Amino acid sequence: MESQLFPKARQAFLLGQLDWTAGNVRAVLLADSYIPNFTEEFLADVPSNVRVATSELVLGRTGTNGIAGCAAINLGLLLSNVLCSKAAIYRDTGVEATSRLILFVGDDGLVTEPFIPAGLTYYIYPNAALGGLFRL
């Protein structure tokens, strides 16, 4: 499935309720078996059994020419037996029920093939051609 903004995040951006450059933002690496439901609004809506790892804070967030940029997102050292191919970016409030999902990163934007984390440090890199993660 293609990467895209969650509709409720898009709405929050348009209403001035969500600011890409403010607050804490993280990513969660998701199992290949995860099928996004774009009515999902908060991290609590994503089943915990498909969450493989949570990133460090997303650093270097910018908003230039309508493009949400950032530094490479550090998922840390991962060793798992779960096949992974997707991720979600979310605004971390410290409470899953209020941590708003922002961006679904599909296998088209994350990897060329699903992978099993093999004890390496993994990163999510912004799209070099776009200049960031997403465009508003």
Q: Could you write out the three-class secondary structure of the chain? A: CCCEECHHHHHHHHCCCCCCCCCCEEEEEEECCCCCCCCCCEHHHCCHHHEEEECCCCCCCEEECCEEECCCEEEEEEECCCCEEEEEEEECCCCHHHCEEEEEECHHHHCCCCECCEEEEEEECCECCCCECEEC
pLDDT in the model for residue 110: 82
pLDDT in the model for residue 73: 97
Q: CB 55: neighbour CB atoms within 10 A?
A: 22
Domain count, the chain: 1
131 assigned to some structural domain = no
Contact 21, 61 (CB under 8 A): yes
pLDDT in the model for residue 55: 98
68 assigned to some structural domain = yes
Per-residue pLDDT tens digits of the chain, which is 136 residues long? 789 999 999 999 999 999 999 999 999 999 999 999 999 999 999 999 999 999 999 999 999 999 999 999 999 999 999 999 999 999 999 999 999 999 999 988 887 789 999 999 999 999 888 889 999 9
What is the domain range of residue 34?
4-125
pLDDT in the model for residue 107: 82
134 assigned to some structural domain = no
Please give the structure tokens belonging to residue 63. Answer: 């908003």
pLDDT in the model for residue 121: 96
pLDDT in the model for residue 113: 85
pLDDT in the model for residue 1: 72
pLDDT in the model for residue 131: 87
133 assigned to some structural domain = no
47 assigned to some structural domain = yes
130 assigned to some structural domain = no
